[in-house]
Copies of this chain bind each other. A is one copy, B any other.
Amino acid sequence: MDDKRRLILDQALALVDERGLAAMSMRAVAERVGLTSMALYPYVGGKDALLDGLVDLLNLELGDEVGDNGEPDWRHRLRALGRAVRALAGRHPGAFPLLLNRPAGASASWLSAALRGVLHDAGVPGGHVPRLARMILAFLLGYATGEVTGGLPPAAGPGDFEADLEDLVRLVEAAVRVA
């Protein structure tokens, strides 16, 4: 019976996708599920916890999309991660900013761990892996958030993001050369 929690979270995310974060009230979510707002509390425990649940959902979706295909080329994997983050923001423009704006829960470390794996396989010295992973994470979340909120000026050209990804690849290569 705990897929009722999942049902509620799914409907909340759908609501945010359709009408924006500001429209997501406990009452509005409940109506979508066919309950009153008070009935949600045992399942999701308050609005704040519900938002944390949405963050978990986004991380889950990101993990599903990227998968763990045994792609050996770290450059391919880094580009794929970057594109997946941006695509996730595109599918969930209302909810995506939560990733950067709320304390990172346990599930939030998925992307962080994936980036560390890429850097390790690239041959980045172990002592630099956590810092560099965090740096790339800050860029990816900042970029996709700003794109979706308008907090960043609009991109000058359509290929800008791909060029940014190549710059990230070079950044990693430079860190490898230090070794």
**A residues neighboring B (CB under 8 Å):** 97, 99-104, 108-109, 112, 130-132, 134-135, 137-143, 145-146, 149-153, 155-157, 160, 163-164, 167, 170-171, 174-175
Contacts and interface: CB of A to CB of B under 8 A. Distances in A.
A interface secondary structure, majority: helix
A97 to B, nearest CB: 6
A152 B100 contact: yes
B145 A130 contact: no
Contacts of A130: 156
B149 A101 contact: yes
Contacts of A152: 100, 104, 134, 137-138, 141
Nearest to A140: B142
Nearest to A156: B130
B109 A151 contact: no
A148 B139 CA distance: 15
27 contacts: A100-B100, A100-B142, A100-B149, A101-B151, A102-B150, A102-B151, A103-B150, A104-B151, A108-B151, A109-B153, A112-B153, A131-B156, A132-B167, A134-B156, A135-B167, A137-B152, A138-B142, A138-B143, A139-B139, A141-B142, A141-B146, A141-B151, A142-B142, A142-B143, A167-B175, A170-B171, A174-B174
